[in-house]
């Protein structure tokens, strides 16, 4: 049971970490990358690609070029851009907002709801709810959380991450963002592939052994 909880908690933490990586970088993010790299080998290569000290400015410049503008945004971080042929704030954006509202989340936000950071944070929220359900031994809630995770990934985040990562790879000037986009895509796809009822079965088996 504890092993299952640890795995779910780690998934939640990594979604939260990835979400934070898609906001304007600062020294706190650099420290976060270092901390994650020390405990997770999958993201360890990011630690060797993140600028430190005065070089942090190059990361901020690249972030702005890629995701903000002010002129052409080289790698739009919005799902609708990739799901609706370059259209922003389309039907897919509305659907993402509906996902948040149905789960009781406050959708008063400063950016479009299908921004990559927000979709990653929503996944963090869903996995964190699975942690609570697993801790309580509520099999129905665990299944519901896993179902939502798989549906959201397959209908939104995992669908548009590949072309987004390709955009970042082709336009980023820093290796950090090239690596970040690639690892984000791999992590999300692997997580989608692993969204099964394995954890439910593990909890059920553990309860039988009590």
The predicted-structure confidence for 129-165, as pLDDT tens digits, reads as follows: 998 888 888 888 888 989 999 999 999 999 999 999 9
The predicted-structure confidence for 81-131, as pLDDT tens digits, reads as follows: 999 987 888 899 999 999 999 988 876 667 889 999 999 999 999 999 998
Per-chain mean pLDDT for the chain? 85
Q: What percent of the chain has pLDDT over 90?
A: 55
Q: What percent of the chain has pLDDT over 70?
A: 88
- How many residues are there in the chain? 210
- CB 24 within 8 Å of CB 60: yes
Among 11-20, 50-59, 88-97, 172-181, whose mean pLDDT is lowest?
Answer: 50-59
Over 70: is that where the pLDDT of 40 sits? yes
Give the list of residues 6+ apart from residue 26 with CB closer than 8 angstroms, or none: 56
Domains of the chain: 2-208 (1.10.3480.10)
Distance CA 34, CA 65 (A): 24
> CB count, 10 Å around CB of 193?
11
Long-range contacts of the stretch 39-44 (C-beta < 8 A, 24+)? 40/10, 40/14, 42/183, 42/187, 43/14, 43/17, 43/183
């Amino acid at each position: 049971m504890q092993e299952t909880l640890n795995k779910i908690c780690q998934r939640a933490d990594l979604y939260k970490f990835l979400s934070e990586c898609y906001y304007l970088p600062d020294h706190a993010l650099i420290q976060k990358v270092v901390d994650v790299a020390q405990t997770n080998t999958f993201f360890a290569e990011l630690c060797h690609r993140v600028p430190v000290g005065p070089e942090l400015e190059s990361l901020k410049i690249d972030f702005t070029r890629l995701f903000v503008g002010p002129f052409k945004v080289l790698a739009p971080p919005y799902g609708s851009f990739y799901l609706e042929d370059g259209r922003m704030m389309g039907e897919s954006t509305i659907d993402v907002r509906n996902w948040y509202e149905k789960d009781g989340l406050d959708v008063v936000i400063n950016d479009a709801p299908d921004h990559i950071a927000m979709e990653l944070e929503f996944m963090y929220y869903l996995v964190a709810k699975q942690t609570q359900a697993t801790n309580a031994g509520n099999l129905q809630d665990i299944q519901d959380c896993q179902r939502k995770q798989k549906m959201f990934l397959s209908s939104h985040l995992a669908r548009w991450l590949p072309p987004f990562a390709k955009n970042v790879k082709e336009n980023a000037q820093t290796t950090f963002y090239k690596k970040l986009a690639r690892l984000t895509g791999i992590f999300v796809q692997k997580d989608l592939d692993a969204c099964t009822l394995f954890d439910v079965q593990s909890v059920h088996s553990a309860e039988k052994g009590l």
